[in-house]
Amino acid sequence: MSKSKLTNQLSLAIFTFFVLFLSGTSPVKAAQLNEVYINLFRLKASTDTGGTVCAKIATAASTDATIRVTFPTGFTVNSTASNWTVTTINLPAGSTAMPGINTATAVSGQDVTFPISNISSDTTLYCFNFSGTSTLTNPTAGNDKTGTVYVQATGPTTIDSGNYALSIVADDEIAITASVPSTFSVAFGSNSQSLGTLSTSSVTSGSGVTITMTTNAGNGWLAWVKSANASLDSATTGDTIATTGTVDNSPSSLSAGTEGYVLDADLTTDSATGGSGAVTIDPEYLGADTSSGGTLSATFEEFATANGPTDGDVITLIPRAAISGLTQAATDYTDTLTVVAAGNF
């Protein structure tokens, strides 16, 4: 090279330096994003996933046009840009939707580019979601899988960028199991009931004994009653006050002055108040008034059911009796009712 040619090239280089110096122009260097992360919706290996991209810029340049996401090596990146649709719902707490974000415009290798509007704040975390359908597939399990997010001006020219890291695991789901034990309880309000002194002028009713059923049985519960004698018997006289009627799904009525003995079942509390768990009194024992009730039997007869769980159904059993002028005097008329119940699981 001639001496004159070398001198000319040196002069041109010096001239260019001074032009740049005097104009204040210097090579542009991308700034580091203040925050950046990608949250994948699935971390399981070889699984399709969507995700959330979040970034906080360092440079308010007024020229932001695109955001480019470079996914780590090993991830399968769908090459069709139109598949990379976005949403801005259910974003991380404290974040704001990425301005102008829309479906990707370009995919090249591991890079996916989305259009955005200019980001005006360098103190706000901006986020968006990308679709989990036909977009990204996780690689094999492993840690420290790194990628980069770029905020770019038209060109594209990178304004800010930041690296991120992901971890992929063999399985990202936790199976939760539990068991609920079967429960059933029966509580008696009392184990005795007195009808007091009977009279030919009226039908006498007891105060009633409450039976409370509590169960988590899906099909509810059932309850039965049987009488030891199917009558009120006096050991002293050998006389009896026999039960009235027959078990025929219909209550019987007592009349003052006519011997008779029945049991009425009243619904005191239905914890379900309808639907599953609703209580039904068997028609036999569903007395219509204070003089009626069901016929007592020496074998178990169903008096109430429920069709679902309950936290406390209450049935009140009320014995009723009437006498005639021929009923012999005695103070030891008695009967014993046995009440049983079962949860219907």
- Residue 297 one-letter amino acid: S
Structural domain that includes position 251: 184-343
Q: Does residue 339 register a pLDDT over 90?
A: yes
Is residue 178 included in any domain, yes or no? no
pLDDT of residue 273: 67
Residues 197, 339: one domain? Answer: yes
> Which 3 state secondary structure label does DSSP give 19?
helix
- Name the more confident of 50 and 59: 50
* CATH number, domain with residue 228: 2.60.40
- Find the mean pLDDT for residues 142-165: 97
pLDDT band with cut points at 50, 70 and 90 for residue 195 = very high
> Which 3 state secondary structure label does DSSP give 157?
strand
Separation between Cα atoms, residue 329 and residue 345, nearest integer Å: 48
Residues 138, 228: one domain? Answer: no
Residues 34, 156: one domain? Answer: yes
Residues 105, 219: one domain? Answer: no
Q: Which of 118, 136, 168 is the last residue of a domain?
A: 168
- For a pLDDT cut of 70, what percent of the chain falls above it? 91
Residues 310, 282: one domain? Answer: yes
pLDDT of residue 61: 82
pLDDT of residue 316: 98
Residues 189, 332: one domain? Answer: yes
Residues 191, 138: one domain? Answer: no
DSSP class per residue in 39-88:
EES--BTT-EE-EEEEEE-S---S-EEEEEEEPPTT-EE-S-GGG--EE-
Per the rule left: phi > 0, alpha: psi between -120 and 50, beta: everything else, 14 is: alpha
Q: Which of 168, 197, 216 is the last residue of a domain?
A: 168
Question: What is the average pLDDT score of the chain?
Answer: 92
Q: Does residue 296 register a pLDDT over 90?
A: yes
pLDDT band with cut points at 50, 70 and 90 for residue 24 = very low
Task: Look up residue 131 and give its two tokens.
Answer: 């679709």
Residues 191, 339: one domain? Answer: yes
Task: Look up residue 209 and give its two tokens.
Answer: 């004994």
Is residue 229 included in any domain, yes or no? yes
| DSSP-assigned letter for residue 283 | G
Residues 149, 271: one domain? Answer: no
Q: Does residue 8 register a pLDDT over 70?
A: no
pLDDT of residue 30: 75
Is residue 13 included in any domain, yes or no? no
pLDDT of residue 19: 32
pLDDT of residue 319: 98
CB contact at 8 A, 74 and 140 = yes
Q: Does residue 28 register a pLDDT over 70?
A: no
Is residue 6 included in any domain, yes or no? no
pTM, rounded to two decimals: 0.70
Is residue 1 included in any domain, yes or no? no
- Find the mean pLDDT for residues 67-72: 98
Q: Does residue 23 register a pLDDT over 50?
A: no
5: CB partners within 8 A, 6+ apart: none
Q: Does residue 159 register a pLDDT over 80?
A: yes
Residues 335, 189: one domain? Answer: yes
Separation between Cα atoms, residue 169 and residue 174, nearest integer Å: 12
pLDDT of residue 29: 56
- Find the mean pLDDT for residues 93-104: 98
Residues 214, 335: one domain? Answer: yes
pLDDT band with cut points at 50, 70 and 90 for residue 276 = confident
- Find the mean pLDDT for residues 70-91: 98
Q: Provide the domain count of the chain.
A: 2
Is residue 195 included in any domain, yes or no? yes
Is residue 18 included in any domain, yes or no? no
- For a pLDDT cut of 90, what percent of the chain falls above it? 88
pLDDT band with cut points at 50, 70 and 90 for residue 272 = confident
Q: Does residue 238 register a pLDDT over 90?
A: yes
Q: Which of 168, 202, 231 is the last residue of a domain?
A: 168
Is residue 2 included in any domain, yes or no? no
- Find the mean pLDDT for residues 140-145: 98
Specify the long-range contacts of residues 60-63, CB closer than 8 Å, at least 24 apart.
Answer: 60/119, 60/120, 60/121, 60/122, 61/118, 61/153, 61/159, 62/118, 62/120, 63/118, 63/153, 63/154, 63/159
* CATH number, domain with residue 37: 2.60.40.10
Residues 124, 190: one domain? Answer: no
Separation between Cα atoms, residue 263 and residue 283, nearest integer Å: 12
